[in-house]
Structure 1
Amino acid sequence: MRLVRSPSEAPGLVARFAHQPRAWLSCGFLGVLVLASILAPWLTPYDPLAQDLSSVRASPGAGHWLGTDTLGRDVLSRLLAGGLPSLLGVAEATVTAAVIGVTAGVVGGFLGGWTDRAIGAAVDLLLAMPVVIIVLSVLAVFHSSMPAAMVTFGVLAAAGISRVTRSATLSVREEVYVAAARVAGVPKRRIILRHVLPRVAGPVIVQLSLIAGGALLVQTGLSYLGLGAQPPAPTWGGMIAEAAGVMQQSPWLLLPSGVAIGATILAFALLGDAIRDTLSDHWAATRPGSSAASPGGGVPAPAAPAPASGPTPARPEPSRSLSPALRIEGLNLAAGGAHLLRDVHLEVLPGETVGLVGESGCGKTMTALATLGVLPAGVHLTGGRIMMDGQDVAGGDKRVLGRMRGRHMAMISQQPMTALDPCFRVGSQLSEAVRRHRGISRTQARACVIELLEMVRLPDPGSVARRYPHQLSGGMAQRVAIAMALAGRPRLLIADEPTTALDVTVQADVLDLLRRLQQDMRMSILLITHDWGVVADLCDRAVVMYAGEVVESSSTEELFANPRHPYTRGLLAANPQASEGRRRLPTIPGRVPSPDRREPGCQFAPRCGFADSRCVTHAIGMATTGPGHLSRCVHDERIPGPKGAVTA
C-alpha cells in the first residue's frame, strides 16, 4: 500500500479547504446570505416598507414567516432588504483596512530603515485615536453617510493590521529563499507580492475576519443610535433598535436580526480560521511521510544520473586579455565597532575558477554577500570598491545592482532547501527567474525550465518541475538551485560551499556538473569552500582568508607546492586528505580573534611560530613572493618546504 501521494495526486488548496466542516459551513452561510441580500427585491414576499396596522407585532406564521414589527411590516422582508447595506459596509471597512494595513505593514517590514520608522509613527498615531469619537465626527461632517463611517473605521483598524503584517514580514524577510530571490535579480515589488505576502497571509486573514465582525457590530451600533440610513429604510441595527422599544411586549422581534448579526460574525471568524489553517498546511516545509526519499513513498528518489562516459573535461583556460569578471579592491566591512573585512583584494578572470578558502568566520561568505549587495542588517561598507563590467556595484546605484543580479552574477548556497520558497513548485520558481531575465512568455518560460533542469542532469525534469521543494532530496534541491542561478546566464557564479550538506557521491556529481557547466557557458566561478580537495579538483587559483583579511593568493598548483603564509601551511598540513596515514593530524594552536578584538598588526601572530615585533606593531600588506603569488607575511622566506605544520 502506498503511504505518500505523488505531487500530481496531492490535494490542492480548494480540496483541503473544502474538507474542513467549518469552512463549508461558514462559506455556505455567507454565500446564501450574500445571494439572498442581492436578490432581496425578487425574494421578499412583501414590500419591506409596506405597513399593515391591522397586523401589528404578529407572531410567525404562514402569512409572515418571521412575524411583523410594530408597524405591521414583514420582518423577513426587512431582514433580507437590510442585509445588503450591512454587508456592503462590512466590505468597505475590511477592504480599506486590508489595502492600507497590509501595504503599510509589508512595505515597512520589508524595506526597514526610515520607511519603517515613518510608517510606524503613522500607525502609532492611528492607534492613539479614539475610534468611536472619530467615526461619530465623520458621520456629523458627511451627513450620516454610512459608507464614509465604514471607510473611516477601516482606516483606523488598518493600524492593527499593519502591526501584525509587519511582525510577520520581519520574520519572512530573513528567510534564505528571500535573499536567494534578491540575488537572482527579482525586483523588490515582486518579492513582496510573490514570496512575502503568501507567507504572511495566515495571520492577516484572521485579523481581517475579526475586523469584518467588528465592522458589522459598529455599523449595527450606529444604526441603533439612529445614525446612518434613516427610518423607514431597513437596516439590521435599526431593526434591533425598534425591537428594543417593545422588548417586554414582543421579545421575538429581537431574535431575527440578532441571530443574523451573531451568525454572520461567527461565520467571518470561522472562515478566517479555516483559510489560515489551509494555508498553513499547504505551505508547511515538511509533512509526515512526504519526503521524496521516504521508504515506500509515492515519490521515490530518482536514481543518481550515470556519470558521463569519457575523460573528465579539461578546465577552460581563463581569458587574461579581457577585463576581470569581478575585481574587489580594498574592501572593508564593519558592524558597530567590529571590523569584519579589512583590505580585501580579489580578482576573478573570465572563465576562471577561484577558490576562497579559510576557517568558518574568516569572512568568505561576507565577501560574497558584499559582492551581491545583500549584506545583513547592521553591516555596512566602510571602504573599497567592487568592480563588475566597469561599474562599482558597492557604492553605485542600487537599481543597477538589482539589474546585474541574476544576469551578470548569481549565487548558489550551501543549503539549497532553504533557498527555495516552500510555497511554490519548482517549475514556478524557475519560471519566475527565467521570465525576469529573458523577458519571454509563460509558454516559452516553461520550455526553458525543462531545458534548465535537463542541463543540470535531473531525470524526468517535467516531474521535478511539478514538485514542491520539500519533495526533493538534498542533491536534487542543489541541482534545482544551480538551475535557478543559471536562469539569467550569468558571467559570474558564486558557489558558497555547494557540496557541504551532500554525501560524498552526490558531492562528486555536483562538482562534475559545475565543471561541465563552466566549460559549456564560459562563466567564471568564485567557489567558497573548506575542502582543499575541492580546490585542487576545480579551481585555477586559490585565495586564503583569515580573520577578515586575504593572507595569500596564487595559482592552485603553486599554493599546494609552495605555501608562503604560515596559516596556509597550517591549513594544508591539517588536511585529512593529505595525512598520508598519520594517526594524528597536526593542528593550529589558538583561536581566530573575534572581529571586535583585532589588533592593527598580523592577525595570525598569536598563533604563529615565526611572529616577532614586526608582526604586531603595524599593518602588514600583501607582498609578491613569486609570479602571481602574493602573501601577507614578513617571514615568507623563513617558511620551510611543504611538509610539516607550523606550530607555536
Structure 2
Amino acid sequence: MTTTDIRVAFDRAAQKRRSSLFRRFLRHPGGYIPLAIFLLIVLVGVFAPLLAPMDPNFVDLAAAKAPPGPEHLLGGDSTGRDILSRLIYGTRTTLWGALITIVTALVIGVPSGVAAGYFGGAFDRIATWISDALQSIPGMIILLVVAAGSRNNFELLMATVGVFMVPGYFRIARSQTLAVRGEPYIDAARVSGLSDGRIIFRHVIKAVYPPVIIQTALTAGIAMGMQAGLQFLGIGDSNVPSWGAMMLEGFRLMLTYPLMLLWPSAALGLTIAVLAIMGSTLAELVQVRTPRVSRQSGTAAGTAAGTGAGTAAGTTAGTATPLAPATGSAQHTAEESALRVENLRVVHATPTGETEVVHGVTLDVAPGEVVGIVGESGSGKSQTVFSVLDLLPSSGRATADAIWVGGADVTRATPKQRHALLGREIGYVPQEPMSNLDPSYTIGHQLIEPLRRTHGLRKAEARERARAMLLRVGLTDPDRVMRSYPHQVSGGMAQRVLIAGAIAGKPSLLVADEPTTALDVTVQAEVLELLRELQAEYGMALLIVTHNFGVVADICDRVIVMRGGDVVETGPVDSLFASPAEEYTRELIAASLDDAEGRAELDRTGTEVTA
C-alpha cells in the first residue's frame, strides 16, 4: 500500500468519523421511519386548528355515540362532540405537556449534573443528595397535592412532573462529565488558559449531549404516559381536549361503545412507541466508537500526511501553586526567576486520612536555564509540576511558603488570578500526546481557540500564528495539519503539535512532562533536539520531568533528583554525572547507561521501530 493509499484511507475514516450523530440517525431505518411518524404527529398538533373538521367542544346531540361516517369520520362521543377533532386537538395538548416536562427536567438536571461532575466538592454532595431525595418522594401524592392547590393547573402539573424527571438527567450529565473530566485533554485545555465555562461548553457538553438526547426521547414518552394517567384520573380541565380525558370517557363506555377508547389509546401508544424506538436507535449509535488506530498505522498516516495533531494543552500558562527555591540553583533573586517555589508540600486524601507525597520541595529555575527533575515512578516529580500547573486531582492539595512566576510574586494570588497566568507565562508539553488531544475537534481548532481566548487574538491572527508554529516545529503541511483530527497522525507528529501549541503563547517557561516517554527512540531524539533549538531560539527557561538520566544528560544544565517526595540531590549536570554524592543517584545513572546500551544494540541490529 502506497502512502497515497494510506492517506485516502485515513481521509475516508475521518470523514466517516466526523459524520454527525443526526446524519447517522437519518441513515438508520430505526431512525428515519419513527422520526417521520413523530414529525407527522407534531405537525398534526401544531396545525390542529386547520386540520380539525370542527370545534372540538361543539356539541351535536344527534351525533352522540355516532359510529364513524362521512360527517364524523371517527364517530361522535357520548355528548355528540366530534372524536376526530378532539383527537387532533388532544395531540396538541399532549405534546405541549410533554414539552413542559422535558424543558423543566433539562433546565434543572443537565446544568446541575455537569456542575456537580466538573467541580465536585460540596456542590456535588448536596446536588446528589437532592437527586436521591427526589427519587424517594412519592410523586403521585405530590401531584395530587399540586392539582388540588392549583385548581388543576395543567402547566404547573406538567412542570411538577418535570421536577421528578430531574434525577434521570442529573445522573447522566454527572456521570458523563466525571468520565470526561478525567481525560488529559481537559487538563490540557485548562492549562492552556481556557476558563472552566469555556471548557464545559466546548469539551464537556460534547460528551454529555448524546445520552441526554436519548434520555429526552424516553422522558417524552414517560411524560405523555403520566399526563394521560393524570387526565384518566380526572385531574385537569375537562373542557380541554386531551387523549387522557378521551380514554377516561371511552373506558366508562367500553362495553357499549369501545371505539371511543380505541382512538386515543392507539394515538398515545403509537407516539410512545416511536419515541422509544428513536431512543433505542440513538443509544445504539452513541455506543459506536471509532476503532483505535494502531501505532504503526498511525505512523504511516502521519508520515503520509506530513501532519501532527494539536491540543488545547499546547498553549499553557504557569499557574500559581506553592513551591520554593531549589538547592544548588544559580545565584539570582526571586524577581529574576522564571519559576521559584519554596517549601512545597502536596497532600492527597485517602480513605484512612491524608498522605503527603511531596515533602517541602524547593525549586528554582532561572531565565534561559534548562532544569531536569528526575526520579523513578512515585518519586513526586510529576506531583511537583502538577502543583505548579494547578492540575492536581480533587483529592490533592498543595501548599507552599512562596511562589514566583516570571519574576512576579503570586503567593497570595487567587485561583482565578493564577489561572490567568496560564497560556502566558508557562507553556506545557504533556506526556502521552494522543491522550491530550480532544478527538472531537480538529487540530486547528485546538490550537487556535487558546490563542483567541488567552491572548485576545482575532481568528485570522490566531490561525496565522498557529500555522507559523507548526512550520517551526517541522510540520511541512500546516494547513493539512490544522484540518486533521488526532487519530489521523502519529504520536511523534502529535507531540510536535503539542510543542507548537506550547510555544505559541511565547511563554517565559516551558514545562515538559516526560515529553519522550510515549515515543520511539528515533522520535525521542528528534523531539529533544527540537526542544533544545526552541529553548535557545526563544530564550525560554525549560523544566523537564523525566525518569531517564539520558534525557537529562542530553539537554539539561542542572538536575534535581527526587525520591519518595524529597529532593535527594541537585547540581549542575556535568558535576553530578562525574561525582554523584548519593547512592540513589548513582543507581539511576547506571540504569540509564544500561538502557542506552540496549538502545544502541537495537540500532546495530536494525530491529528498532520508528515513528
TM-score range, shorter chain: 0.7 to 0.9
Aligned-residue CA RMSD in angstroms? 2.9
Aligned with residue 40 of structure 1, among 35, 38, 48: 48
Letter in 2 for 1:64: H
- Determine the C-alpha separation between the residues in 2 that align with 1:478 and 1:444: 23
Letter in 1 for 2:528: L
1:637 alignment partner in structure 2: none
Aligned with residue 237 of structure 2, among 229, 235, 245: 229
Change (3 A) 1:273 1:440: farther
Could you list the per-position Cα deviations for residues 218-251 of structure 1 after superposition, in whole angstroms to 9, with x for gaps in the alignment? Answer: 21122222322322x3111111112112111221
- Determine the C-alpha separation between the residues in 2 that align with 1:383 and 1:521: 29
Offset of 1:165 from its aligned partner?
Answer: 2.4
1:403 alignment partner in structure 2: 420
Could you list the per-position Cα deviations for residues 125-183 of structure 1 after superposition, in whole angstroms to 9, with x for gaps in the alignment? Answer: 32232211112222222221111111111122212321332233222212212221222
Offset of 1:123 from its aligned partner?
Answer: 2.2
Aligned with residue 544 of structure 2, among 503, 527, 537: 527
1:325 alignment partner in structure 2: 338
1:68 alignment partner in structure 2: 76
- Determine the C-alpha separation between the residues in 2 that align with 1:505 and 1:297: 15
1:351 paired with 2:351, answer: no
- Determine the C-alpha separation between the residues in 1 that align with 2:303 and 2:25: 27
How many percent of aligned residue pairs carry the same amino acid? 42
Offset of 1:205 from its aligned partner?
Answer: 2.9
- Determine the C-alpha separation between the residues in 2 that align with 1:57 and 1:294: 72
1:539 alignment partner in structure 2: 556
Aligned with residue 573 of structure 1, among 590, 593, 597: 590
Aligned with residue 414 of structure 1, among 431, 442, 445: 431
Letter in 2 for 1:168: Q
3-state secondary structure, aligned to 1:158: helix
Offset of 1:326 from its aligned partner?
Answer: 0.5
3-state secondary structure, aligned to 1:498: coil
Change (3 A) 1:554 1:445: same
TM-score by length of 2: 0.86
2:262 alignment partner in structure 1: 255
- Determine the C-alpha separation between the residues in 1 that align with 2:596 and 2:109: 61
Offset of 1:201 from its aligned partner?
Answer: 2.7
Where do residues 582-601 of structure 1 align in structure 2 (5 Å cutoff)? Answer: none
Offset of 1:520 from its aligned partner?
Answer: 3.0
1:6 alignment partner in structure 2: 12
8 Å CA contact retained: 2:31, 2:278: yes
8 Å CA contact retained: 1:7, 1:467: no
1:610 alignment partner in structure 2: none
1:169 alignment partner in structure 2: 177
8 Å CA contact retained: 1:3, 1:297: no
Where do residues 459-478 of structure 1 align in structure 2 (5 Å cutoff)? Answer: 459-478=476-495
1:268 paired with 2:275, answer: yes
Aligned with residue 197 of structure 1, among 194, 205, 216: 205
1:630 alignment partner in structure 2: none
1:287 paired with 2:291, answer: yes
- Determine the C-alpha separation between the residues in 1 that align with 2:390 and 2:597: 42
Equivalent pairs counted in the alignment come to 567
Could you list the per-position Cα deviations for residues 529-579 of structure 1 after superposition, in whole angstroms to 9, with x for gaps in the alignment? Answer: 122222222212111112211122222222222322222222223332698
2:93 alignment partner in structure 1: 85
Change (3 A) 1:401 1:40: same
Where do residues 105-504 of structure 1 align in structure 2 (5 Å cutoff)? Answer: 105-231=113-239, 233-281=240-288, 284=289, 286-287=290-291, 294=297, 301-302=304-305, 323-335=336-348, 336-389=353-406, 393=410, 396-504=413-521
3-state secondary structure, aligned to 2:336: coil
Offset of 1:338 from its aligned partner?
Answer: 2.9
Change (3 A) 1:503 1:237: same
8 Å CA contact retained: 1:179, 1:374: yes
3-state secondary structure, aligned to 1:269: helix
Change (3 A) 1:363 1:81: same
8 Å CA contact retained: 1:292, 1:301: no
8 Å CA contact retained: 2:369, 2:541: yes
Could you list the per-position Cα deviations for residues 348-404 of structure 1 after superposition, in whole angstroms to 9, with x for gaps in the alignment? Answer: 111221111111111110010011122123222355433214555566411111111
8 Å CA contact retained: 1:291, 1:473: no
Where do residues 616-635 of structure 1 align in structure 2 (5 Å cutoff)? Answer: none
8 Å CA contact retained: 1:202, 1:280: no
8 Å CA contact retained: 2:306, 2:477: no
Letter in 2 for 1:272: G
- Determine the C-alpha separation between the residues in 2 that align with 1:163 and 1:444: 41
8 Å CA contact retained: 1:3, 1:296: no
Offset of 1:199 from its aligned partner?
Answer: 1.5
State the structure with more CA Rg: 1
Question: Unaligned regions of 5+ residues in structure 2, if any?
Answer: 309-329, 602-611
- Determine the C-alpha separation between the residues in 2 that align with 1:249 and 1:297: 76
Question: Unaligned regions of 5+ residues in structure 1, if any?
Answer: 306-317, 585-648
Change (3 A) 1:139 1:57: same
Letter in 2 for 1:287: P
1:20 alignment partner in structure 2: 28
- Determine the C-alpha separation between the residues in 2 that align with 1:444 and 1:579: 44
- Determine the C-alpha separation between the residues in 2 that align with 1:188 and 1:152: 31
> Which deviates more from structure 2 when the two are superposed, residues 38-47 or residues 120-129?
120-129
> Which deviates more from structure 2 when the two are superposed, residues 272-281 or residues 353-362?
272-281
- Determine the C-alpha separation between the residues in 2 that align with 1:570 and 1:404: 38
3-state secondary structure, aligned to 1:339: strand
Letter in 1 for 2:270: A
Q: Which structure features the higher share of helix residues? A: 2
Letter in 2 for 1:439: G
Letter in 2 for 1:258: S
Could you list the per-position Cα deviations for residues 305-362 of structure 1 after superposition, in whole angstroms to 9, with x for gaps in the alignment? Answer: 9xxxxxxxxxxxx996861110121112223443311121111111221111111111
Could you list the per-position Cα deviations for residues 276-301 of structure 1 after superposition, in whole angstroms to 9, with x for gaps in the alignment? Answer: 444443xx3x426x669539998874
- Determine the C-alpha separation between the residues in 2 that align with 1:32 and 1:494: 58
Change (3 A) 1:136 1:433: same
Change (3 A) 1:299 1:58: farther
1:619 alignment partner in structure 2: none
TM-score by length of 1: 0.81
Offset of 1:270 from its aligned partner?
Answer: 2.6
Letter in 1 for 2:398: L
- Determine the C-alpha separation between the residues in 2 that align with 1:53 and 1:226: 23
8 Å CA contact retained: 1:363, 1:545: yes
